[in-house]
């Protein structure tokens, strides 16, 4: 198996962000309908705003790759534990491509699968943390135990996480899931893609693209909120290099680069609401205390910690500035974690754009 992980770094909230850039679509992945959909989005103010929001929500979810920890049980296996996150992200990318290409039913069905896997990832991570072994997870992964009902997963997550009071109630989450289920089973008349589009002709219509993107928006908001309160330290970015140079603890901190998409997706008001709700969570206190317990490193000390092994791996043309080198280390950590999730360590490469 060969794995390729490409991700963009956004140093500021670029108003020109697009789904094409976030998900690194190749030119031949969008068909003629997809190109018409992009043109329609650019020509309609409502669709443009929705498109920007969905793009930032997508990028914010991708950032959580950096909070995928590698937990080790006291005994037994430990790989594959982040498999569900990567599989969910792959399904989300596919859902967006086929939605832009005009296959709305298929897109929403795949979006449901992605939503299930993201929330199931959070569910499993809560149950595996500090366990003696991870065998219950492997029993599921190998098909020996069935998947719990999605409603039970959502209920358990609401009990486990310190979710703030917002419009994303349990009922809203489950109603969104049921709406996506319509395209796996049999949609009601009002849910029919033909009814929404007002036509049986293939192509991109404003009402249908708007409906599709609104479903994307609410689903990704749900996923993002669950990820945030599964890893609430995401709301409190730190200067990782100042404490750990280029060898940080895996899956523990967000930095200011991670925080840009999060702020852009949530807005400052919601970000402040989430931070207020999360600051007293014990996990946040523990993680921040661990960060503060380490002394600050000088720029010279950080520079010295870029060793010959790093230089040899990334090549001779690596920039000298700290941020560029840190981006390369991020790419390496991301693809290594992905490889461990699928056990394809023999062939894996990272590209940083």
97 CB-near residues (< 8 Å, 6+ apart): 23, 25, 29, 30, 34
Mean pLDDT throughout 302-315? 73
Split at pLDDT 50, 70, 90, the class of 345 is: very low
164 DSSP assignment: P
The SS3 assignment for 216 reads helix
Split at pLDDT 50, 70, 90, the class of 193 is: confident
Q: What is the per-residue pLDDT across 226-284, written as a single tens digit (0 to 9) for each? A: 999 999 999 999 999 999 998 899 899 999 999 999 999 999 999 999 999 999 999 99
Query: Residue 188: pLDDT above 80?
Result: no
Confirm if 48 and 41 have CB atoms less than 8 A apart: yes
- Phi then psi for residue 210, to 5 deg, are -65, -45
Mean pLDDT throughout 21-26? 92
Report pLDDT for 353: 46
Report pLDDT for 350: 45
Q: What whole-number distance in Å separates Cα of residue 94 and Cα of residue 106?
A: 10
Mean pLDDT throughout 118-146? 91
Report pLDDT for 79: 84
Query: Residue 34: pLDDT above 80?
Result: yes
Confirm if 350 and 8 have CB atoms less than 8 A apart: no
Report pLDDT for 191: 77
Report pLDDT for 40: 95
Mean pLDDT throughout 184-189? 78
Percentage of the chain modeled with pLDDT above 70: 93
- The more confident residue out of 305 and 231 is 231
Confirm if 243 and 139 have CB atoms less than 8 A apart: no
Burial string for 67-90 (b: 16+ CB within 10 Å, else e) reads bbeeeebeeeeeebbbbbbbbbbe
Chain centre to alpha carbon of residue 82: 12
Q: What whole-number distance in Å separates Cα of residue 79 and Cα of residue 137?
A: 11
Split at pLDDT 50, 70, 90, the class of 329 is: confident
Model pTM? 0.92
Total number of residues shown for the chain: 353
Query: Residue 344: pLDDT above 60?
Result: no
Mean pLDDT throughout 82-89? 96
Confirm if 337 and 346 have CB atoms less than 8 A apart: no
């Amino acid at each position: 198996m060969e794995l390729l992980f490409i991700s963009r770094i956004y140093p500021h909230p670029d108003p020109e962000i697009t789904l094409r850039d976030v998900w690194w679509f190749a030119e031949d992945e969008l068909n003629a309908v997809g190109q018409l959909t992009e043109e329609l989005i650019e020509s309609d103010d409502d669709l443009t705003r929705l498109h920007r929001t969905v793009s930032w929500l997508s990028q914010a979810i991708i950032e959580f790759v950096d909070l995928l920890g590698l937990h080790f049980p006291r005994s037994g296996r430990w790989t594959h534990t982040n498999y569900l996150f990567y599989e969910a992200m792959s399904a989300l990318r596919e859902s967006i491509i086929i939605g832009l290409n005009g296959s709305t039913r298929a897109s929403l069905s795949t979006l449901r699968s992605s939503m299930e896997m993201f929330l199931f990832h959070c569910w499993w991570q809560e149950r595996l943390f500090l366990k003696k072994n991870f065998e219950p997870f492997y029993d599921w992964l190998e098909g020996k135990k069935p998947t719990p009902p999605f409603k039970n997963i959502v209920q358990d997550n609401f009990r486990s996480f310190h979710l703030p009071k917002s419009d994303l109630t349990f009922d809203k989450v489950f109603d969104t899931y049921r709406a996506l289920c319509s395209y796996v089973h049999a949609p009601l008349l009002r849910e029919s893609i033909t009814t929404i589009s007002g036509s049986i002709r293939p192509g991109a219509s404003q009402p249908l693209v708007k409906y599709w993107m609104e479903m994307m928006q609410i689903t990704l908001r749900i996923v993002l909120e669950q990820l945030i309160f599964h890893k609430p330290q995401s709301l409190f970015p730190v200067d990782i290099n100042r404490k750990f140079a280029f060898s940080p603890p895996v899956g523990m901190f967000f930095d200011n680069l991670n925080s840009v998409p999060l702020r852009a997706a949530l807005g400052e008001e919601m970000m402040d609401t989430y931070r207020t709700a999360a600051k007293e969570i014990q996990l946040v206190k523990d993680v921040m205390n661990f960060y503060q317990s380490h002394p600050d490193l000088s720029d010279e000390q950080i520079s010295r910690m870029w060793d010959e092994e790093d230089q040899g791996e990334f090549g001779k043309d690596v920039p000298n500035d700290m941020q560029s080198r840190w981006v390369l280390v991020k790419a390496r950590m991301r693809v290594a974690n992905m490889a461990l999730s699928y056990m394809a360590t023999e062939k894996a490469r990272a590209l940083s754009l």
